[in-house]
């Protein structure tokens, strides 16, 4: 077997959930794998439903010929964004670097295989969109049978160019910042901006449907995609190949994808070893001076270590800190725009006294802050360094207490700021505001301790990439799902109870309830820590 194909096959099999399910004998692990696969399939089905509805909108309005361009642009955008934020984990600074580079492979071959691995791992997203839009296009356009073959073949090549472009940008960023201590900040900022824009687009879509401007919006979208296709040539080639069966467009899309792939990794291969070596080291300041060391408590030292771990990883930071960023933005925006305006957007202008929503303020803030607790990721992120923690001459409970302390340091100040902004904007009384702050603290304590329980109980130390822990880990899923559902239910319940029995009593009840849960989870985390130790 060709060495490159063998390497790629090994990379795919080592992380394949189906392969793990095939050879795993542990029923619990099998259950988790099956649950994860079912969850992913549901997400793919939802994406396909959205894509088909888009084609139906184009078909009903007589603009179905715009569907191939839209399909190409959506896939290209997803491929670019996903690759840009994964390059530093898949292509550079990956866990098995030392092992792979010791094998008889050229650096450019290793880089090319890692790229193909990253490309194939994302292919399911692209295929789900493409197949769904192909079905929608077929329903309304009724093309010849060979069009489906062309569509299927070009779907394989369509994401290559945007993935290559994103990889090249990632390569440039890695090359420039490889020797700098804060090299991940730029990528993190890009991620925050993208997510905030994605959240704000929800109001644009809502306004479109409320004002009955669907057809006008689709027409504008068609004009926009047509204009984009003139600039981004692969989208135009894909569209021409589908709608006009243009052979030249097919050849150009496939040929240029292959040529760019070869050229890019010929360039990357020259600096591949150097970049990865620098990414695994830390920069040292030239003007370094020896100063007296400050004595810190054990808990604060561990908390500071967690802070350095968070800021040293783009993947970890964009997930662990995204909630506090969004909560801060929400609080500040509410202070300037007005509480009534924000609630009016959510309830679509329904007529009622928006003051009844005040008891839900702590839950609204917690919905963002409690998205992901750092304590459900940090135990697994220790990875192969876990033995160092085990060998330290201190009580293992102290380690997890320090991890919890860091999460509280991060969440509580943001909770206080956002709660005060929303209370001031809504005109909440002083006593209510104080109780909302106490409830917010209880919610932060609960999410911190509950996350720690999930993180210790479902610790995963064997992983190839941080994404497996931060985004796909069982601890994160088990923490997130019940936490978010309960938060939404209690948010509605606080409003209902506030109408019938007043605002203060429900708030006091929730404070007692969540404080009790936080104590129970804390004791559970300490018990698990003692067993792990």
Dump pLDDT digits (tens) for 304-325. 888 888 877 767 777 777 788 8
pLDDT for position 331: 87
pLDDT recorded at residue 90: 67
Q: What's the pLDDT score for residue 280?
A: 59
Mean pLDDT value across residues 228-245: 81
**Does residue 438 carry a pLDDT above 90?**
yes
pLDDT value for 237: 87
| Residue 363 to residue 517: CA distance in whole angstroms | 16
Residue 335 vs residue 13, higher pLDDT: 335
Q: Which residues lie closer than 8 Å to 521 by C-beta, 6 or more apart?
A: 446, 449, 450, 452, 453
Residue 204: its pLDDT value, please?
46
Output the average pLDDT for the chain: 76
Q: Which is more confident, 284 or 248?
A: 248
Using alpha carbons, select from 191, 133, 121, 187 the residue that is nearest to residue 159.
121
Better-scored residue on pLDDT, 377 or 36:
377
Residue 115's pLDDT is 79
Cα dihedral 403, 181, 269, 249, rounded to 10, equals 80
pLDDT at 95: 63
244 pLDDT more than 70? yes
Q: What is the pLDDT of residue 398?
A: 84
Q: What is the DSSP letter of 493?
A: H
pLDDT at 437 (0 to 100): 93
Q: What is the pLDDT of residue 420?
A: 92
pLDDT above 90 as % of the chain: 10
pLDDT score of 78: 82
| Confidence tier at 213 by pLDDT (50, 70, 90) | very low
Q: How far apart are CA 22 and CA 368, in angstroms?
A: 38
Q: Which of 98-102, 117-121, 277-281, 515-519 shows the lowest per-residue confidence on average (mean pLDDT)?
A: 277-281
Q: Which of these, 11, 239, 174, lies nearest to 103 by C-alpha position?
A: 11
Encoded tokens for 335: 């202070």
Helix (H, G, I), strand (E, B) or coil at 24: coil
Q: What would the mean pLDDT of 101-123 be, rounded to a whole number?
A: 78
pLDDT(191) > 70: no
- Split at pLDDT 50, 70, 90, the class of 345 is low
Q: Which pLDDT value is given to residue 185? A: 53
Residue 205 pLDDT grade (very low, low, confident, very high; cuts 50, 70, 90): very low
pLDDT at 126 exceeding the cut of 80: yes
Q: How many CA atoms lie within 13 A of 100 on its CB side?
A: 28
pLDDT at residue 414 in the model: 92
Average pLDDT estimate for 31-58 = 77
> Rounded distance, CA 122 to CA 84, Å?
12
pLDDT tens digits, one per residue of 66-91: 788 888 888 888 888 777 766 666 66
Which pLDDT band, with edges at 50, 70 and 90, does 212 fall under?
very low
Against a cut of 0.85, is the pTM above it? Answer: no
For residue 408, what pLDDT is reported? 92
With a cut of 80, say whether residue 411 has pLDDT above it.
yes
Report whether pLDDT(41) > 60.
Answer: yes
The conformational region for residue 108 under phi > 0 = left, psi -120 to 50 = alpha, else beta, is: alpha
Closest to 135 (Cα-Cα) out of 119, 159, 157, 151 = 151
pLDDT at residue number 351: 64
Looking at per-residue pLDDT, the higher value among 362 and 117 belongs to 362
* Both tokens assigned to 229: 């296709």
């Amino acid at each position: 077997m060709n060495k490159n194909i063998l390497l790629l096959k090994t990379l795919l099999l080592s992380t394949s959930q189906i392969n793990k399910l095939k050879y795993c004998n542990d029923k619990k692990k099998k259950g988790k794998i099956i649950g994860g696969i079912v969850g992913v399939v549901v997400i793919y089905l939802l994406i396909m439903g959205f894509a088909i509805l888009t084609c139906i909108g184009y078909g009903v309005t007589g603009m179905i010929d715009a569907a191939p361009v839209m399909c190409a642009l959506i896939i290209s955008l997803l491929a670019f964004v996903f690759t840009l934020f994964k390059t530093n984990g898949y292509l550079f600074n990956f866990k098995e670097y030392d092992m792979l580079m010791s094998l008889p492979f050229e650096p450019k071959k290793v880089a090319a295989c890692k790229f193909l691995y990253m490309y194939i791992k994302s292919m399911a997203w692209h295929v789900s969109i493409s197949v769904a839009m192909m079905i929608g296009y077929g329903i309304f356009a009724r093309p010849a049978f060979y069009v489906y073959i062309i569509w299927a073949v070009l779907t394989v090549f369509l994401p290559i160019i945007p993935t290559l472009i994103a990889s090249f940008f990632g390569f440039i960023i890695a090359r420039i910042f490889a020797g700098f201590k804060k090299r991940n900040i730029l990528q993190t900022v890009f991620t925050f901006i993208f997510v905030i824009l994605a959240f704000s687009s929800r109001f644009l879509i809502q306004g479109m449907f409320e004002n009955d401007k669907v057809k006008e919006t689709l027409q504008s979208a068609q004009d926009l995609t047509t204009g984009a296709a003139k600039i981004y040539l692969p989208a135009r080639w894909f569209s021409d190949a589908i709608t006009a069966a243009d052979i030249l467009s097919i050849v150009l899309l496939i040929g240029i994808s292959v040529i760019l792939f070869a050229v890019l990794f010929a360039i990357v291969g020259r600096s591949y070893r150097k970049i990865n070596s620098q990414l695994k080291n830390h920069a040292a300041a030239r003007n370094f001076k020896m100063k007296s060391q400050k004595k810190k408590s054990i808990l604060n030292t561990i908390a500071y270590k967690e802070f350095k771990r968070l800021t040293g990883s783009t993947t970890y930071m964009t997930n662990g800190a995204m909630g506090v960023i969004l909560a801060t933005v929400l609080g500040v925006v509410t202070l300037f725009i007005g509480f009534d305006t924000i609630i009016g957007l959510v309830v679509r202008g329904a007529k009622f006294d928006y003051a009844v929503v005040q008891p839900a303020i702590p839950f609204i803030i917690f919905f963002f802050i409690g998205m992901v607790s750092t304590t459900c990721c940090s135990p697994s992120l220790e990875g192969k360094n876990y033995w160092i923690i085990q060998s330290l001459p201190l009580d293992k409970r102290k380690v997890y207490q320090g991890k919890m302390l860091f999460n509280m340091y991060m969440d509580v100040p943001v909770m206080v700021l956002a709660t005060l902004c929303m209370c001031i904007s809504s005109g909440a009384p002083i006593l209510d505001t104080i109780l909302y702050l106490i409830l917010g603290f209880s919610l932060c304590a609960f999410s911190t301790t509950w996350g720690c329980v999930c993180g210790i109980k479902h610790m995963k130390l064997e992983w190839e990439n941080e994404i497996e822990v931060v985004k796909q880990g069982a601890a994160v899923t088990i923490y997130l799902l019940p936490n978010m559902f309960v938060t939404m239910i209690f948010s509605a319940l606080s409003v209902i109870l506030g109408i019938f029995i007043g605002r203060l009593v429900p708030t006091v009840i929730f404070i007692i309830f969540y404080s009790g849960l936080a104590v129970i989870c804390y004791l559970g985390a300490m018990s698990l820590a003692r067993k792990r130790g």
